[in-house]
Amino acid sequence: MLKRIFLISLITLSITSCDNKQNSKPVTQTAAPVKEVVVPNFNADSAYNYVKKQLEFGPRVPGSEAHAQCAEWFIDFFNEKADTVYVQEFRARLYNGKTCDGKNIIASFNPEAKKRILLAAHWDSRPFADHDPDRTKWNTPIDGANDGASGVGVLMEVARALKENPINTGIDIILFDLEDYGAPQYLNLMTNHDWALGSQYWANNPHIYNYRAYFGILLDMVGASNPRFPKEYYSQSYAPALSNEVWKMARELGYDQYFINEIGHPINDDHIYVNEYANIPMIDLIHLEDNENSSFYPYWHTMNDNLEQIDPNTLGMVGNVVLNVIYRK
């Protein structure tokens, strides 16, 4: 089912001759209707299945076989949905001085359009369950169901909607790699720049020379039940108008219980480098919730960040907000 939003302008003008008032007749002019905006419904079950499929490969730790296989699946998927797909391979230095190969995957829709919107998520999963209550699990890779796969699942369903319901605006979906390979917390290394390595690379080396986008939305941890989405601090600093607009859209759609109209914690995430290096205003839509484990959703960087934590209703809510923003822009 499609949600139809009609924008119709009706102008009525009464024109009367000054010289012949008795014989004059009102002339009614009706302007042509403004083009109808059609916002497709977001299929939450489809997004959930995309999350599930990612987890079936196993933890998507860069350098692993699961990571390589999942990348090929993404590329095949976007080749079917998008107009153009770019695979940006890069090598980055990790927190421990070692280097690691990464792969950003970019799917472009309507590539000739000058006006563009950037949507992003990270697709790698954390190599360390370093916030798990069980210390023996701290060096075990996690599934990353919410932290990574949820945002990707939403964007894959957005891609399917764009394929079936094209729009004039250019849309670029970027899956950033090597976002979650920062130093494990037990090393006590405060190294912010060792995170979000894929977005750092892309922001300095965009897939298109002199690439510009009107704005960007980053999705991170957008699949858990009863989410809490305040306006992340840096998002409100870099792109306050966009942040306010997205939360207004969520309120209009009836999601204000979850899209909290308050400023949240500052988060070092992919949007930082898109803002600072690429000069594209981007916000981070992320689950922030103070708890015993962290300021994120309760199972962040633990072995319990698995499919059991994913709620299709949350995926659907986030997907509906994203679709309404990009189709009504």
Pairing label, strands 84-93, 99-109: antiparallel
**Rounded to an integer, what distance in angstroms lies between the CA atom of residue 67 and that of residue 9?**
52
Class of domain 40-327: alpha beta
Q: CB-based contacts of 329: which residues, under 8 Å, 6+ apart?
A: 117, 169, 214
20-29, 34-43, 204-213, 252-261: segment of lowest average pLDDT: 20-29
Yes or no: say if 95 and 189 are a contact pair by the CB < 8 Å rule.
yes
pLDDT greater than 80 at residue 28: no
Has residue 136 got a pLDDT over 50? yes
pLDDT tens-digit profile of 50-109?
999 999 999 999 999 999 999 999 999 999 999 999 999 999 999 999 999 999 999 999
User: pTM for the whole thing?
Assistant: 0.89
Tell me the pLDDT tens digit for each residue of 179-201.
999 999 999 887 788 999 999 99
The alpha carbon dihedral of 286, 290, 296, 297 has a sign of negative
Query: Residue 19: what pLDDT?
Result: 42
Residue 34: its pLDDT value, please? 52
Surface-to-core class of residue 14, CB atoms within 10 Å of its CB (0-12 exposed, 13-18 middle, 19+ buried) = exposed
Task: Measure the CA angle with vertex 68, ends 64 and 73; round to 5°.
Answer: 145
C-alpha 75/C-alpha 85 separation (Å) is: 7
CA 37, 254, 322, 247 dihedral sign is: positive
For the record, the structure tokens of 100 come out as 């690691």
- With both helix axes pointing from N to C terminus, report the angle between 44-56 and 150-164 in degrees, rounded to the nearest 10: 130
* Residues whose CB falls within 8 Å of the CB of residue 17, separated by 6 or more in sequence, listed in order: 23, 24
The overall average pLDDT reported for the chain is: 91
The predicted structure's pLDDT at residue 212: 97
- Mean local confidence (pLDDT), 290-313: 93
**pLDDT value at position 21?**
40
pLDDT, tens only, 152-189: 999 999 999 999 999 999 999 999 999 999 999 999 88
Token output for 238: 């870099």
